[in-house]
Amino acid sequence: MVSVSPRLKDCLEDDEQDSVDPRFVFGFRSVSLDSSGYEQYEQDDHRPWSAGGDPTANRKKQRLRQSSQRLEQLETFQYRTCADGNLFRLFELYPGVGGRPVEGRLSFEHSNRVERDYTCLSYCWGDIVERPVDIVCDGFKLPVTSNLLAALQCLRKPKSSFYIWCDQLCINQADLNECSRQVAIMHDIFSQAKDVIVWLGEEDDKSGKLCEYARKMRRGEDSPKQTLKRILTPRQLQDAIQKLLQRPWFQRVWTIPEVANARFTIVQIGNDQLSWDNFVRLIKDVPLPPAGGFDKQAALLGNPRQRIAILSQMSASQKAGLRHTDITQLLILGKASKASFDLDYVYAFYGLTWLRTFPDYQMPTEVLYAEIIQYYVNSIRWDASYSNVHDLSEDRRTHQLMSVLYSAGALHQHYTLPSWIPDWTFGWHLAPIWCRASSNIVTASGKDEWSAGVRCDFRAGGRECGEFDVLPGPFGMHKLRVSLIIFDTITITSETTPASTPGAEVNSAMQPDPTMRYGRAFLRTAKGYIGLATPGIEAGDDVAVLLGGDVPVVIRPCGNHDPDTRAYKLLCETFLLDEGVMHGDIVRETWPLAEDVVFL
C-alpha cells in the first residue's frame, strides 16, 4: 500500500488527463542522491530546498546578528527609582536559548514580606570591572560583565521565566546611599531566597568529569572505587580539584555571606550542578597532592580549602540561628579575599555578625577599620553575651584577642592605621606562625569548633592574658594597652640564613620548615637567639612576648609619649629557634618583669 498525503485525494480516477499528481512533481519532498537539476532550488548553503525544514546555520547567524544590531540601537538603561528602606529589586529572567540576547525586567520586593520565589546568584565580577556586553532590561540596553552574561545565558529556561537576584542588576552601583541600604538587608535577601546558585564559570579543566565523579561518589553505587577511577584517575582528580579551587569565585569577599546565609546552595559549573554539601564532601575526602616548595593553596591563611571549611561552619551557625562571633575567622577570610571597594572587607560580614554600625560607603576606610576592631576587642573583653552565644572559653577569648594583633603590624599595612589595627586590604603573603593554614572542615555544629583546630602548638606567652584595653586616641585612632615582657633586642638582620649560635642545642623538631622561611628575613638577637620575621625589621627593634600570646612579636620604640607608659609600634610576629622561648619559659622565669605598654 502506498501512503499518501492527507492533503490530496486518495483516488486519481476523477483527475483530468492532463493533470499531473503533484506528488510526482520534481521538488515535492523528493529524495535523490544526485544533486544535478537542483540548482534552482538551492539555498545559500547549497543544499536542496526540499531537504530543508529547520532553519539553516546561516539563518541562525543572521538572526543573531540582527538581534545584536537591535540591541545596539536600544537606549541605555537608567535606574529611575531608589531601592530604599526594606525594598530590593528582583530581575525576571525571560526564557531563551543559545546566544540570543538575555532579556528581562526589574521589579521591587519587600524584605519583610516576600511574596515571590526567587534565586540568588553568587558569582564573581572578574578582575576587569568594565561591562563590555549588554542585556535587555525593561526594553533598554544594560551593560554587564562577561561572566554575568554567561551565567544568565546558562541559567535561563527555554520556555518559562523566573526571578533572580544579583548585585550587578538589582543594585544601582553608582548610588552609594542605595548600596549602603542594600548591604544592610543583604542577610534577609539571601536567607529568604529559595536557593543560592554558586556560579563558578564555564566548563573547563575536566570540571564536567569532576561533577560526574562527585555525583556517583554520593550515590554509593556498586564497586564505587572502580567506577570512580574510570571517570578520573586519582591524579586527574587532584588536578581537577586544584584547578577548580583556583577560580576567581574563591577569592571574592562577598561570596562568604552569600553562601553562609543561604537556605540551600547549588554549585554550578557550565551546565553541571552539585549541592553544596556534596561539593564540600568532595573537597574534604580528596587529599592535597604533594607539592614541592611554597604552595599558596596549602601554606597561606584563607586558602580555598580553609575557606570552604570556615564557610561550612558559618553556614551551620546561621542555620542554628546563631550570630557569628569569631573575629579570627573574619580576619582570615577578609584578608584572603578581593573586593571592588575596600569598605566591603568589613561590610560583607554585616549580616553575619554582631556589627551594629550601619553600612556607610562614604565613611573613610581607616575609620571603619579602626572602629570595627575596637568594637570586637571591647565585645570580647566586656560583653558576656558575645562569648555566651557560642560557649567561648577564656582560652578561646584570649586566642581571638591575640589573632587581632597577629593579623596587624606596621609591616603589614597599606593604610595609615595604629599598628595594632589590622589592614583588611593587606593580604596574607607569608605562612602563619600563630596558627595553621589547614582546612579542618567541621560541618556538624554551629559552634566555633573550627578555630580550636587550627591554633598553633606554641604558647610563648602562657595561657593567662594580661591587660588588653582600648584607650582613647586622636581622630578615633585609639591606642591599645597590653601586658608583655621585653626580653631581647635585635642586633643583626639578614636575607640569608645566619650561622647557628656556637654551643647552642637546637631541637630538630624546632627547625622551621621551608614554608615558614619563605619570604621572611632572618634575625639575631643580643642574647644569641636566631629567628625569622617579616622583612622590614631593623637592628634595635625589641623582641617581646605578649601575656597570653602564642608566639613572640617584634616591636619598635616610639618615644616617650606618656611619662608613666612606654609606647611602641607593633611590627610583626616572629619565630625564635628556641624551644624554651616558644613554649613559655620566658614568661615562667620572668613573670615579675611583665609591664604594661601602649601600642600606637
Can you spell out the DSSP letters for 391-452? T--HHHHHHHHHHHHHT--GGG-SS---TTS--TTS---S--SSB--------S-SSSHHHH
Cell of 226: 572502580
Distance CA 565, CA 222 (A): 71
Residue 110's φ and ψ, nearest 5 degrees, are: -110, 125
Domain co-membership, 324 together with 427: yes
Give the residue carrying C-alpha cell 603590624: 409
Domain co-membership, 41 together with 85: no
Domain co-membership, 261 together with 296: no
Cell of 519: 619570604
Q: What pLDDT is attached to residue 115?
A: 93
Give residue 419's domain range: 289-454
Domain co-membership, 417 together with 442: yes
- 572 in Cβ contact with 554 (< 8 Å): yes
Report CA torsion sign: 235, 237, 240, 241. Answer: negative
- 562 in Cβ contact with 496 (< 8 Å): no
Look at residue 106 and tell me if it is in a domain: yes
Distance CA 324, CA 283 (A): 24
If one counts the domains in the chain, the total is 4
Look at residue 556 and tell me if it is in a domain: yes
Of 243, 262, 286, the one marking the end of a domain is 286
Q: Residue 588: exposed, middle, or buried by beta-carbon count in 10 A (0-12, 13-18, 19+)? A: exposed
Domain co-membership, 331 together with 446: yes
Give the residue carrying C-alpha cell 564559570: 201
Strands (E), 367-516: 468-471, 479-494
Look at residue 218 and tell me if it is in a domain: no
Domain co-membership, 355 together with 340: yes
Q: What pLDDT is attached to residue 521?
A: 94
The tens-digit pLDDT sequence of the chain (600 residues) is: 544 444 444 444 444 455 555 555 555 444 444 545 544 444 444 444 444 445 566 666 666 666 666 777 889 999 988 988 899 999 999 999 888 899 999 999 999 999 999 999 999 987 666 788 999 999 999 999 999 999 999 999 999 999 999 999 999 999 989 999 999 999 999 999 999 999 999 988 788 889 888 888 765 554 467 777 888 888 888 889 989 999 999 999 999 999 999 999 999 999 999 999 889 888 888 887 776 677 888 899 999 999 998 888 888 887 777 766 688 999 999 999 999 899 999 999 988 876 667 888 989 999 999 999 998 999 888 888 777 776 778 888 899 999 999 999 999 999 999 999 999 999 999 999 999 988 877 655 555 666 767 889 999 999 888 899 999 887 777 899 999 999 999 999 987 655 444 444 444 456 677 888 999 999 999 999 999 999 999 999 999 999 999 999 999 998 766 666 789 999 999 999 999 999 999 999 998 889 999 999
Look at residue 230 and tell me if it is in a domain: no
Task: Give whole-number Cα distances, 244 to 247, 252, 279, 407, in Å.
Answer: 6, 15, 11, 28
Smallest CA-to-CA distance from 202 within 158, 155, 156 is with 155
Smallest CA-to-CA distance from 310 within 443, 177, 469 is with 443
- 93 in Cβ contact with 102 (< 8 Å): yes
- 468 in Cβ contact with 481 (< 8 Å): yes
Domain co-membership, 145 together with 282: yes
Domain co-membership, 38 together with 73: no
Strands (E), 183-280: 195-199, 265-269, 272-275
Cβ neighbours around 529 below 10 Å, total: 20
Using H for helix, E for strand and C for coil, what is the string for 479-543?
A: EEEEEEEEEEEEEEEECCCCCCCCCCCCCHHHCCCHHHHCCCEEEEECCCCEEEECCCCCCCCEE
Q: What pLDDT is attached to residue 565?
A: 76
Q: What pLDDT is attached to residue 557?
A: 94
Q: What pLDDT is attached to residue 42?
A: 42
How far is C-alpha 334 from the geometric centre of its chain's CA atoms? 9
Domain co-membership, 131 together with 10: no
Domain co-membership, 273 together with 296: no
Look at residue 581 and tell me if it is in a domain: yes
Distance CA 223, CA 322 (A): 41
Domain co-membership, 294 together with 347: yes
How many Å from the N-terminal Cα to the C-terminal Cα in the chain?
A: 100
Distance CA 324, CA 318 (A): 8
Domain co-membership, 294 together with 441: yes
Q: What pLDDT is attached to residue 582?
A: 95
Look at residue 109 and tell me if it is in a domain: yes
Distance CA 212, CA 232 (A): 9
Of 399, 432, 454, the one marking the end of a domain is 454
Look at residue 478 and tell me if it is in a domain: yes
Look at residue 416 and tell me if it is in a domain: yes
